[in-house]
Amino acid sequence: MSPSVEVRAIDDLEELQTGLIRYGDQAQATLAAIDREMQRTLDWLEERQRHWRGEAQRWREEERRARAAYHRCLASGDDEHPPSCGREEEALSAARRRLAQAEAEERMATQARQAVQAEAAVYARDASRLRATLQSETVKAVEVLGTKVVVLRSYASGGISAGGVLAGALAFGAGLAIGAALGQAGQETPPTPDSPGQIENSGAISGAPGLSDRTVEPSLQELHTDIRDIPLVLIDLSDSPVQNESDYHKVPKAEMIAGFAKLAQVRRLIGQGVTDQELYDMDREAREEGLSEGQSHHNIYKVFYGENAIALEKAGDRYRVINGYHRLAVALELGWTVIPARVVG
């Protein structure tokens, strides 16, 4: 009889995974907020430039009129009757003061905008590197943790043998602690599904049902055979209405980018045979702490594999878009090469 393995830290792995996802989401949201604030500052400085440029032009014209009036006044008298031009002289001086102030304000606004633009360019380079890290390394870490959780949950519920847990853990880079805990179990030959040892092991963890008590739930891969990965280079986006960030009306672009980070993990889990309930349970603790359904892995799965999945129509050797322009635009920007989609017709 194969020895059982007592798994106790699955919730800790899920908590770490949730923390990484939140970190990625919050970091992306923070970067987006900084971008918006920086753009607002540049827009405000540009408006100040235009304002003071207009004021300078107005007072330049006012100074010209005041100077002309002053000279007319001076020319209106003679040696015996010198003109009194104090009012015109004061108006000319006031116009010149206002003109000098407007020109100084315009220069300061221009210099400030140039300085902010220079700093924004430096920040943009650093932020781009951080975004690349968030979209690659953080996603990879979340995927590895998610895989470990699914493998260990499956073992805990009697779905696979201890040897299977070891193989799955090693395949996805499980740490030394997991390797040490399962090493002895993995050295023995896993019992066959019909052997008494298998049934006894499946119930060895407290609260875990035996195989005979479980109802087999079809995997999501079996449920969605109509969804397949389509190379983005084969999708015709020449008529896409998505040209810039202002075209994202229903869902903000930053939120869609965060969704793609979770989609990478969802695709991996679907490929490994995860079920609907297992995917829903991934965010159980996060929901208890306030995670909205729209931010859950289960919702990302529904968005890309449910009724509103990206829909394409075959047109020769390419595909025409029926639904999903915004998701396709984000996928291209993030460097994805394939995208799950439903081909109709």
What pLDDT is recorded for position 56?
92
At 127, list the tokens: 């932020």
224/136: higher pLDDT: 224
345/18: higher pLDDT: 18
Which residues on adjacent β-strands are paired with residue 312?
321, 343
Pairing of strands 235-236, 311-315: unpaired
pLDDT at 227 over 60: yes
pLDDT digits (tens, 9 = 90+) for 67-77: 999 999 888 87
What pLDDT is recorded for position 164?
46
Q: Do 123 and 226 fall within a single domain?
A: no
316: left (phi over 0), alpha (psi -120 to 50) or beta: left
Across the chain, mean pLDDT equals: 77
Q: Do 113 and 238 fall within a single domain?
A: no
119/167: higher pLDDT: 119
Report the distance separating Cα 332 and Cα 301, nearest Å: 19
Do the domain assignments include residue 245?
Answer: yes
Query: 91 pLDDT band (50/70/90 cuts)?
Result: very high
Contact indicator for 70, 89 with CB cutoff of 8 Å: yes
What pLDDT is recorded for position 47?
92
Least confident of 3-12, 129-138, 202-211, 233-242: 202-211
Query: 160 pLDDT band (50/70/90 cuts)?
Result: very low
Q: Do 221 and 126 fall within a single domain?
A: no
Query: 311 pLDDT band (50/70/90 cuts)?
Result: very high
Do the domain assignments include residue 320?
Answer: yes
pLDDT at 176 over 70: no
Considering 82, 112, 133, which residue would you say is the last residue of a domain? 133
pLDDT at 28 over 50: yes
Q: Do 221 and 345 fall within a single domain?
A: yes
Least confident of 40-44, 163-167, 307-311: 163-167
pLDDT at 235 over 50: yes
Least confident of 23-37, 102-116, 302-316: 23-37
Report how many domains make up the chain: 2
Identity of the highest mean pLDDT range in 97-101, 189-193, 341-345:
97-101
Considering 89, 104, 133, which residue would you say is the last residue of a domain? 133
Report the distance separating Cα 275 and Cα 88, nearest Å: 88
Least confident of 3-7, 155-159, 273-277, 285-289: 3-7
Q: Do 124 and 245 fall within a single domain?
A: no
Task: Return the H-helix or E-strand segment holding 161.
Answer: none
Q: Which pTM value belongs to this model?
A: 0.40
Domain enclosing residue 45, as ranges: 24-133
Least confident of 92-96, 203-207, 212-216, 246-250: 203-207
Q: Do 341 and 247 fall within a single domain?
A: yes
Do the domain assignments include residue 65?
Answer: yes
Question: Which segments of the chain does DSSP mark as H helices, in order?
Answer: 10-75, 86-133, 139-156, 162-171, 176-187, 196-202, 220-223, 253-271, 276-281, 284-288, 297-305, 325-334
> Among 286, 288, 310, which Cα is nearest to 297's?
286
What pLDDT is recorded for position 9?
66
**Whose structure tokens read 């229903």?**
250
Q: Do 229 and 125 fall within a single domain?
A: no
pLDDT at 173 over 50: no
Report the distance separating Cα 65 and Cα 84, nearest Å: 18
Do the domain assignments include residue 48?
Answer: yes
Query: 246 pLDDT band (50/70/90 cuts)?
Result: confident
Do the domain assignments include residue 43?
Answer: yes
Do the domain assignments include residue 10?
Answer: no
pLDDT digits (tens, 9 = 90+) for 98-119: 999 999 999 998 988 888 888 8
Q: Do 241 and 127 fall within a single domain?
A: no
Considering 79, 111, 133, which residue would you say is the last residue of a domain? 133
pLDDT at 218 over 80: yes
Phi then psi for 208, rounded to 5 degrees?
-85, 130
Do the domain assignments include residue 199?
Answer: no
Share of the chain above pLDDT 70, in %: 77
